[in-house]
Amino acid sequence: MKNYLCKTAFVVCVSMMSTTPVFSQIITAGTPKVLIIDFLYEVYQTNQDALGIAKKYIALQNNPNDFSVDARYRGVAEHLTLLRKGQTVGQSTTEASRPIIFNPAKDKVVPYSEVNKLCLVFSLTKEQEDNTYVLIENGKPLRYFLVQGDKIGSFDYMIKGVNGPAYLLGY
């Protein structure tokens, strides 16, 4: 009887494991990947206030102009609102891509150094390259993130010229 219970428990455990989704990446709490995933979730899967998300997740750069911290966070919040609608700054609604929705079963957040052959070529310092991550969906890069400490320093970029390098933009 004891062997029968052990075998039954083993079969039940194996059955449960085979029906549980297996994610393509193991994520440790407190890592840049978790930060990015949490950010994407709050932007695209919740109705959280965009200004609150900006203040929680975005690291502001040194301020070379006269914009206040609040004004800069409001600018990021406006940008997040556009992203939720599938737009980016400078795009019309007809040109807008679909909103990004992070699906851990098929999407991955990986270090830029592991996938840079698939990606844009960025003008980055070694420290920036070590802290840049890419959201990959079906093997294609969707968005780039520069992580600074426990916040996101950038999730936007611009390309200089036709064949020039890309630059991550700070806020």
DSSP track, 112-154: HHHHTTTSPPB---HHHHHTEEEEEETTEEEEEEEEETTEEEE
DSSP annotation of 46 reads S
- Residue 130 · residue 113 · CB < 8 Å: yes
Residue partners of 135: CB distance under 8 A and separation at least 6: 36, 40, 100, 102, 107, 108, 109, 141, 142, 143, 144, 145
Q: List the pLDDT tens digit at each of the 171 positions of the chain.
A: 444 344 333 333 333 333 233 333 445 667 999 999 999 989 988 899 999 999 999 999 887 677 888 999 999 999 999 888 876 654 434 334 455 666 767 788 999 988 866 678 889 999 999 999 999 888 888 889 999 999 999 998 888 887 788 899 888
Q: Nearest Cα to 140, choosing from 166, 156, 117, 163?
A: 117
- Say which residues have a Cβ less than 8 Å from residue 65's Cβ, sequence separation at least 6: none
